[in-house]
Chain A
Amino acid sequence: MTVELFGIPRLRAGVSQSIADGSTLGEILLDLARRFPSLGEDCIDGCTLKAGYIANLSGERFVTDPETELNEGDIVLLMSLDAGG
């Protein structure tokens, strides 16, 4: 599954895009935390995102439930929750 990272998640991972294995949001997050320890430490708590971060599927909808099933072709966007400017 393709993952795009924005804001702090991008800063912690050091990449703007990655691949992660899994068929649910929770599995993807677990895999990302393994691949990018800094991202895992600061943004991910087990199979959920820490407060302050949110995931979006392909720009379509925001999701937080780790059980959220991902479909083939979905792109997971990870971003800072606070969009204030």
Chain B
Amino acid sequence: MHPTPGYHGRYLRIDLSIGIAKSVSLEASFLRKYLGGSGLGVALLMKEGAAMVDPLSPEAAIAFVFSPLVGSPLTTSAKFAVVSKSPLTQRINDSLASSGFALTGKKTGNDAIVLVGRASRPSIVLIENDQVRLEPAEDLMGCSNPETQEKLRSRLGSDFQIATIGPAGERLVRFSTISHDGRHAGRGGSGAVLGSKNIKAIAVRGTQRVQWSDQSALVRLAKELSEKSFGPATAKYRELGTASNLLTFNRLNVLPTRNFQQGSFHGATAISSEELGVVRNRTRASCAACTIGCEHLYSLKSGVPVRLEYESLFALGSLCGIDDSEIVLVASQRCDAAGLDTISSGGTIGFAMECAERGLIDAPWLRFGDGNALLRALDLIVSGKGLGQLLAMGSRAMAMEIGCDSIEFAPQVKGLELPGYDPRGLQMMALGFAVGSRGADHNRSGAYEVDFSEAVDRRNVGPESAHLAVESEDRAALMDSLILCKFLRGVFGDLFQESAEILRLVTGWNLTATELRETALRIVTEKKRFNILAGWTPSEDTLPKRMLQTAIPEDARASLSTDRLASLIKAYNLARGWSEEGWLPESETGAGAL
């Protein structure tokens, strides 16, 4: 029987311990329930029982998941999701990246690649259509991401696409990434999961293409979507990149600064994209198969271009009090090379800077605003030397080790460091952070969009608005499972309706917007179910105490009490159809879930 168009109808499961790969079929009904990307990934991990095992143990599973749209002419669709239990949060983690790895990985004839077990020695997984083999990787150990990719390309040939971990992943840094061509599956430590399996890289090459249900209509629709992607909804991303958020957030006093001790930064202008664009050479790039091209690269003094996004800029800039753009660019480059998530790196180092200034750790050299200290701390994380061992655990584990109530100002939710949005001044986002299945995250909930609108008073959000956080999360779940880049979201009038049409042309399924809303809810619920099995309790849906006890210093109205956050969370849970505390209805939890 032919697979559903858009899919191969199977995934590859590789047991690294015993060196056996097998092809597992995927029923059309299962694919229709979870689509691809994040949704299919969490469903596959549930099948593997991944919630209840140590994510760095051989039993743990990690899934590289493609989607029905990968390989289609639709702009921004060349994406894959890396899904596993996070070693940073011990909860579900789904990180997305865009690159030719998605296009070629799917051409191996699989909708996903699942790795379990642990290779007996450092290895590369080579997948070429139906052929799978492990090759030794001792010679690559310690190499940066770019070095590894370059060496493997010359060894294997340029038609292999290669996802790698850097030294950070090898050393099991809890916030290490998986990288391909400068793009990263960044958050939550998927690099450490791969490192724990002794896998330095996955190389893919293939020739198997999927069918499209209505190819000519799909090409027409893709053309229309590409044309819309040149419009005003994406102008910011195309012309300025995400880094242009910095001055806006600074003006609204929601730019996290010096470990969230302030909401505006004296050095914001010096590190802003506007200033960088004047004093440095700027170039633009894009992910594979993308017409938007939001990547903006700025040259170091040496002339080397470095990709810089808002999240890296705030985390390695204002959050650590750094106003030297050269240092921020060098730090960002080092994170990319070593395979470190920039948000968690900056978040953890900023937290350590505050601990050092308070005398809670013995690191007199580590001070806010000291660029060399930031670079030294990054190097220590990668080498695992001295303070680096503690930093490599992330801010939550570090606070547990330090004690002295430092957990109150560790900038994390469920162990994941906060991105660049101060939740006290963006309270819809505060709710999104608190309930997020992978922790404080701006990609699985785009609730900041509501804060930047007339729909709410961003500094006094009430429970009547909680359904808006639900909608934001559902939209994200759909886009992350289709997969389409979220920077495209502004071009859709009705995302669910238009996605149903896209999927109809790709798969032939006669979907409705209502069914896709149910799909999004199912995916969010499945992530919650995973977390419950992993040990989730309602007490972890919260924010750091600092955010609930003090206002943003520059804006007394930007304060959020424990009680108000609790009322928002309760309203969110009820809007989801869960219990007030966030438990799933008993009938839904599965045997032994509660």
Report yes or no: A84 in contact with B449, Cβ–Cβ below 8 A: yes
User: Residues of A contacting B486 with CB < 8 Å?
Assistant: 84
Q: How far is the CA of A82 from the CA of B451 in the complex (A)?
A: 11
Report yes or no: B240 in contact with A8, Cβ–Cβ below 8 A: yes
Question: Which of A16, A52, A53, A83 touches B245 (beta carbons < 8 Å)?
Answer: A83
| Contact A83-B448, Cβ < 8 Å, known A52-B232, A59-B252 | yes
Does B111 belong to the interface (CB within 8 Å)?
Answer: no
User: Residues of B contacting A61 with CB < 8 Å?
Assistant: 454, 457
Report yes or no: B309 in contact with A6, Cβ–Cβ below 8 A: no
State the Cβ distance, B251 to closest chain A Cβ, in Å.
Answer: 6
Report yes or no: A83 in contact with B490, Cβ–Cβ below 8 A: no
Closest chain B residue to A4, Cβ basis? B251
User: Residues of A contacting B448 with CB < 8 Å?
Assistant: 83-84
Interface residues on B, range: 35 or more
Chain B 151-193, CB within 8 Å of chain A: the 1/0 string?
Answer: 0000000000000000000000000000000000000000000
Does B365 belong to the interface (CB within 8 Å)?
Answer: no
Closest chain A residue to B448, Cβ basis? A83
Does B248 belong to the interface (CB within 8 Å)?
Answer: yes
Interface residues of A in 29-60 (CB under 8 A from B): 42-43, 50-54, 56, 59
Chain B 225-269, CB within 8 Å of chain A: the 1/0 string?
Answer: 000000011011101101011011101110000000000000000
Chain B 399-425, CB within 8 Å of chain A: the 1/0 string?
Answer: 000000000000000000001100000
Closest chain B residue to A54, Cβ basis? B452
Q: How far is the CA of A26 from the CA of B483 in the complex (A)?
A: 39
Report yes or no: A83 in contact with B452, Cβ–Cβ below 8 A: yes
Does A63 belong to the interface (CB within 8 Å)?
Answer: yes
User: Residues of A contacting B252 with CB < 8 Å?
Assistant: 56, 59
State the Cβ distance, A56 to closest chain B Cβ, in Å.
Answer: 7
User: Residues of A contacting B458 with CB < 8 Å?
Assistant: 62
Does B498 belong to the interface (CB within 8 Å)?
Answer: no
Closest chain A residue to B490, Cβ basis? A82
Chain A 53-85, CB within 8 Å of chain B: the 1/0 string?
Answer: 110100101111000000000000101111111
Report yes or no: A82 in contact with B251, Cβ–Cβ below 8 A: no
Does B274 belong to the interface (CB within 8 Å)?
Answer: yes
Q: How far is the CA of A51 from the CA of B231 in the complex (A)?
A: 10
Q: How far is the CA of A57 from the CA of B178 in the complex (A)?
A: 42
Report yes or no: A59 in contact with B442, Cβ–Cβ below 8 A: no
State the Cβ distance, A80 to closest chain B Cβ, in Å.
Answer: 4
User: Residues of A contacting B509 with CB < 8 Å?
Assistant: none
Q: How far is the CA of A51 from the CA of B555 in the complex (A)?
A: 29
User: Residues of B contacting A63 with CB < 8 Å?
Assistant: 454
Q: How far is the CA of A16 from the CA of B346 in the complex (A)?
A: 29
Question: Which of A11, A51, A84 touches B242 (beta carbons < 8 Å)?
Answer: A84
Question: Which of B233, B237, B240, B245 touches A11 (beta carbons < 8 Å)?
Answer: B240
State the Cβ distance, B495 to closest chain A Cβ, in Å.
Answer: 14
Does B310 belong to the interface (CB within 8 Å)?
Answer: yes
Report yes or no: B454 in contact with A62, Cβ–Cβ below 8 A: yes
Report yes or no: B236 in contact with A64, Cβ–Cβ below 8 A: no
Interface residues of B in 430-466 (CB under 8 A from A): 442, 446, 448-449, 451-454, 457-458
Q: How far is the CA of A54 from the CA of B455 in the complex (A)?
A: 13
State the Cβ distance, A11 to closest chain B Cβ, in Å.
Answer: 6
User: Residues of B contacting A59 with CB < 8 Å?
Assistant: 251-253, 555
Does B311 belong to the interface (CB within 8 Å)?
Answer: yes
Question: Which of B233, B244, B490 touches A7 (beta carbons < 8 Å)?
Answer: B244
| Contact A50-B242, Cβ < 8 Å, known A82-B490, A84-B487 | no
Q: How far is the CA of A47 from the CA of B419 in the complex (A)?
A: 35
State the Cβ distance, B182 to closest chain A Cβ, in Å.
Answer: 18
User: Residues of B contacting A62 with CB < 8 Å?
Assistant: 452-454, 458
User: Residues of A contacting B244 with CB < 8 Å?
Assistant: 6-7, 80
Report yes or no: A85 in contact with B442, Cβ–Cβ below 8 A: yes
Question: Which of B237, B453, B487, B490 touches A54 (beta carbons < 8 Å)?
Answer: B453
Closest chain B residue to A6, Cβ basis? B248
Q: How far is the CA of A10 from the CA of B274 in the complex (A)?
A: 10
Report yes or no: B232 in contact with A51, Cβ–Cβ below 8 A: yes
State the Cβ distance, A59 to closest chain B Cβ, in Å.
Answer: 5
Report yes or no: B311 in contact with A81, Cβ–Cβ below 8 A: no
State the Cβ distance, B504 to closest chain A Cβ, in Å.
Answer: 26
Chain A 1-24, CB within 8 Å of chain B: the 1/0 string?
Answer: 000101110110000100000000
Q: How far is the CA of A77 from the CA of B251 in the complex (A)?
A: 9
User: Residues of B contacting A82 with CB < 8 Å?
Assistant: 233, 236-237, 449, 452, 487, 490
14 intermolecular pairs with C-beta atoms under 8 Å apart:
A6-B244, A8-B236, A42-B232, A52-B236, A59-B555, A80-B236, A81-B449, A82-B236, A82-B452, A83-B245, A83-B451, A84-B442, A85-B242, A85-B314
Binding site for A on B (CB under 8 A): 232-233, 235-237, 239-240, 242, 244-245, 247-249, 251-253, 274, 309-311, 314, 419-420, 442, 446, 448-449, 451-454, 457-458, 486-487, 490, 555
Extra 10 A-B pairs, beta carbons < 8 Å, given A50-B232, A83-B245: A7-B244, A11-B239, A42-B235, A51-B232, A80-B244, A81-B453, A82-B236, A85-B310, A85-B314, A85-B442
Binding site for B on A (CB under 8 A): 4, 6-8, 10-11, 16, 42-43, 50-54, 56, 59, 61-64, 77, 79-85
